[in-house]
Amino acid sequence: MATLGDVAARAGVSISAVSRVLSDAPDSRVSAATRERIVDAARELNYRPNFAGRALKSARTQVVGLVVPDITNALFTELMHGAEDEATERGYTVLLGRSDDVRPGGEVIARLIGEGRVDGMALQVGDAVQPAGLRDLLTAQAPIVLVNSSIPGHVGSVTLDDHHGALIATQHLLELGHERIAFANGLPRSFTAKRRRTGYKLALAGARVRVPKEYETRIGYTVDNGRTALHRLMALDPKPTGVVVANVNAAVGLLGEARKAGIRVPEDLSVVTVHDSWTAENTWPPLTAVKMQFYTVGRTAVRSVIRRIETGETSDEVVTDPPPELVIRESTASPRSA
């Protein structure tokens, strides 16, 4: 690979001149003729600035880390796309990391930051992660922005409008005439689950509808968790006529299990999920869902990280624009008894 020195030699100038021209420094003070010779030489040699050299000198990598608990998740890919688009526009690169590694996540983050591989990162901690190990990293003033998660005392976060999303989903069932509305939620310690819960409760309260507290399960967000939730809810008496599922993966599992159990959707049970994704429209019946703006969250998170890196400003943001959006498909209908 060609270096600055090679280009300089070919153009008959010094390395500094080349560096200044190619990184177009504001006060390069180079004549038009020389500039042209340099640019030509660089093109002819197909020069590209060496990443390590630049990073070493400038102490900047122009890379932001994106660490999420589970890459497999269909929802995550949207977030990733948003993050990439924003990064690219601003001259950064995204380095993807898993936090579901052997180590509970802290080690990956410490490496990325500690070895100087990234300038900052967007971090989504899973529900299973103890915040304890991360505490020192965050207090170390590293440019870390939390995504859809929270660690007490940390400033710098970007989250979905979970509250609003769950509210819309619940209101949809209310408007269809349901009153026995269950809620298949995530684990109690989950940050997002807490927020979705308040949305659900607020919607019910707003309609002056009361349900037994067993109507809320707090099992988790996986496909299997959804299957379990279905069994728990349908064992209740009276059975719910509608269920708000806090996560699309769990909804897919719940739907599959309902079919196995001979429960017809939407005739016997209406199902609405928070989160839309391409999996939701390809289930049977296609799932009515509240589309959450993961793409925008990805963009916003990266923007926030970069702002933190470049100006030091921090902020806690909730993505409300565009707002969560109800996508009506075929898994919801009015209750039969109504």
| Site for DNA, rule CB under 7 A | 1, 3-5, 12-17, 19-20, 22-23, 25, 29-31, 33-34, 47-50, 52-54, 56-59
Indicate the residue among 107 and 268 with the shorter CB distance to DNA: 107
Give Cβ neighbours of residue 176 (< 8 Å, ≥ 6 apart). 242, 270, 332, 333, 334, 335
Q: Binder to a second copy among 50, 130, 198, 315 (CB under 8 A)?
A: 50
Q: Is 49 in the site for a second copy (CB under 8 A)?
A: yes
Cα→Cα distances 233→184, 198, 238, 256, 263, Å: 8, 20, 10, 15, 12
As measured in angstroms, the least distance from the Cβ of 4 to DNA is 3
Q: Binder to a second copy among 7, 41, 61, 332 (CB under 8 A)?
A: 61
Strands of 288-291's sheet in order across = 216-218, 181-185, 242-245, 270-274, 288-291, 325-327
Give the span between the Cα atoms of 330 and 49, in whole angstroms.
54
Given DNA, a second copy, none, residue 71, with its beta carbon under 5 to 8 Å by kind, binds a second copy
Indicate the residue among 117 and 329 with the shorter CB distance to DNA: 117
Q: Is 284 in the site for a second copy (CB under 8 A)?
A: yes
Q: Enter the tokens of residue 297.
A: 């969250």
Chain-centroid distance, C-alpha 193: 15
Nearest to 105 by CA among 141, 75, 79, 144: 144
Indicate the residue among 93 and 198 with the shorter CB distance to DNA: 93
Task: Considering only the stretches 46-54, 143-151, 173-181, 182-190, report the one whose residues sit in contact with a second copy under the rule CB under 8 A.
Answer: 46-54
As measured in angstroms, the least distance from the Cβ of 155 to a second copy is 22
